[in-house]
Amino acid sequence: MNKTSCVISFDFTSRFLPPVYISVFIFGLVANGWGLKSLLQKWRKLKIINVFVLNLGLADILYLLTLPFLMVYHFMGSKWIFGVTFCKITRFCFNLNLYGSIGFLTCISVYRYLAIVHPVRVMGRLTVTHSVAISIIVWLLVSVQSLPDMFYTKTFGNESGKCYETTRKRFVEDYLKYSLGWTLTGFCIPFLITLGCYGHVIVILHCKDTTDKVLKQRCLRLLLILIILFSVCYIPYHVLKNLNLWVRVLSKQRICNEWFNRVYVAHQISRGLVCLNSALNPLVYLHVHEDIPAQLRQLLQRARHMFSRQPSANSGNVSMTQMTNLSH
């Protein structure tokens, strides 16, 4: 490493993130809105796991509503015009969505584990009231974990300044320590719990020949969804976020290396990938709610039937026109 001034190009962020935000905002809002509507229509038949899915959708909606402001921010060349307080609120909503999603996915994994491994001893004692109480606890824990982030300086400049994802250069050493602890409690521990639950579930499903095949398929599908979410969205973001903070600490000490810029670019890509969780989480609706896949199939069948009828109608009109012309 060389002790020199560090030069990092920040142009990549303004080119990469806005298109990602626009795509996630449109698709995520439609998918989550449709999923939540389907859940609320079956409110009287609400099951324990649906409470966690409902909260998962609310966390996504909360973050999606902040994306238009972030689009404006990056389209204007990373100039924040909405004030210091709203900058902190926007970043707080992102953290609530991220760690709330991880928390509720963990709850769904634990529920599936109990339903398969301890179906009689434990599941008979769990009620919707318990799942509501657990959901409140998850929101409280995520809020407590995210609250210290609000006290770090997020902006730079009086008007049209920066709105930092983490904090200013001056406080980056302290923020790195906070981020590492946050990663451990908010991501690593829930991730290990999820792996443990599904590792045990897979063993049980393969050892019991009497296990329902439909149940096996549903559990394997949910496991695949979780693998995609953690591999694409969560793991790269947490690794590269802390690595980027470490690079900023080294840069502050005038210690530089040519790979610092690559770390920055990789971190920005991980920021785009992590926001995809708001668009990918609706896949969980398709798994845990039996009516939604049926509704989706009906919509596809109607669309196919509608498009298939149009050519026949047109051909009928053509043939009638031809007959009329011949008669004349």
The domain covering 2-299 belongs, at the CATH homologous superfamily level, to Rhodopsin 7-helix transmembrane proteins (1.20.1070.10)
HSE of 65, CA atoms in CB hemisphere, 13 A: 13
Task: Identify the CA nearest to 114 among candidates 196, 46, 197.
Answer: 197
**285 is written with which tokens?**
């609706």
**Per-residue model confidence (pLDDT) at position 294:** 52
Average pLDDT, the chain: 82
For the chain, the structural domain boundaries read 2-299
| pLDDT tens-digit series, residues 173-187 | 999 999 999 999 999
Residue 212 contacts residue 125 (beta carbons within 8 Å): no
Q: Does the pLDDT of residue 3 top 80, yes or no?
A: no
**Per-residue model confidence (pLDDT) at position 307:** 63
| Burial annotation 251-268 (CB, 10 A radius, 16+ → b, else e) | beeeebeeebbebbbbbb
**In the chain, % of residues over pLDDT 90:** 46
CA–chain centroid gap for 36, Å, is 15
**Per-residue model confidence (pLDDT) at position 292:** 47
| pLDDT tens-digit series, residues 104-155 | 999 999 988 888 888 777 767 888 889 999 999 999 999 999 999 999 998 8
Cα 284 to Cα 104: distance, rounded to the nearest angstrom: 11
Q: Does the pLDDT of residue 308 top 60, yes or no?
A: yes
Highest mean pLDDT among 15-19, 44-48, 129-133, 142-146: 142-146
Q: Does the pLDDT of residue 236 top 90, yes or no?
A: yes
Greater model confidence, 310 or 266 = 266
Range in 1-10, 17-26, 65-74 with the lowest mean pLDDT? 1-10
Average pLDDT over residues 22-37: 90
Q: Does the pLDDT of residue 321 top 70, yes or no?
A: no
How many residues in the chain?
Answer: 328
Q: What is the pTM of this model?
A: 0.84
Eight-state DSSP code of residue 253: T
